[in-house]
Amino acid sequence: MVGREAKPRSVLQRSKRCPTAQQPRRGWETVLNVLRYRSRGKIPNQTPCRVPPPLHGRCREQRYTRGADWDSIAECAKIASPMPLFGNGDILSYEDADRAMQMGVSGIMIARGALIKPWLFTEMKEQRHWDISSSERFDILKDFTNYGLEHWGSDTQGVEKTRKFLLEWLSFLCRYIPVGLLEHLPQKINERPPYYVGRDYLETLMASQNVDDWIRIRSSRARCKARRADLSHDTLFIPGQS
């Protein structure tokens, strides 16, 4: 939908049929037009969408280089009302989430934040920063590995799949800067810290941007779980760009 002159009709008709969330990215003229048409009742869309559409506060061309534009999301939420609209972009702390919820949206969607800090939802619920230890983080990885092997199987194929997703995920997890090491809270999602030494070996390893270190973390986990599987060869891993 981004970068193209999407017809308001097609966007809303699709969201009417589809029970899952659609995500119009920021291409404000298009999005605002859709919402204006909708609010004037020009589109015969009387069936409410089962999942409110989340609005991504950036256009595709911007990738993640700029902050999400929450002022524009707020404007859209106002025009869309009473149709519920979810906002999306750059949420990594409970303060970010609280601020976002004050923009008049019905809810928020979190993507990278959930990968960088899977415990973010606990922080939001308990309104606190959690100075999680490296071993607690490792326990989350253990759970992920267990679920992966349970879901995909502990044969060679299942192990490979679990390892692939674990590596992909580690490329996000390493962006987390431990609360206890931060001078200013909260961490911002686009913050890229210089190399730092953690409070223990595992914390330092988890902060590494080096793929070899992610493989080291992953291998220690996968080896524990998949005793019978063939671990002699490795999948080629190319980190994502998100």
Binding site for ligand FMN (CB under 6 A): 23, 56, 88-91, 110-113, 115, 189, 242
DSSP per-residue string spanning 147-190: HHHHHH-SSHHHHHHHHHHHHHHHHHHTT---GGG-SSSSPPTT
**Torsion sign, CA atoms 234, 235, 236, 237:** negative
Q: Decide whether 56 or 221 has the Cβ nearer to ligand FMN.
A: 56
Q: Decide whether 189 or 217 has the Cβ nearer to ligand FMN.
A: 189
β-pair partners for 108:
87
Q: How near is the Cβ of 133 to ligand FMN at its closest, in Å?
A: 25
Q: How near is the Cβ of 167 to ligand FMN at its closest, in Å?
A: 13
Q: How near is the Cβ of 28 to ligand FMN at its closest, in Å?
A: 16
Measuring CA to CA, which residue among 88, 91, 95 is closest to residue 73?
88
Q: How near is the Cβ of 242 to ligand FMN at its closest, in Å?
A: 4
Q: Decide whether 110 or 205 has the Cβ nearer to ligand FMN.
A: 110
Confirm if 59 and 26 have CB atoms less than 8 A apart.
Answer: yes
Q: Decide whether 77 or 226 has the Cβ nearer to ligand FMN.
A: 77
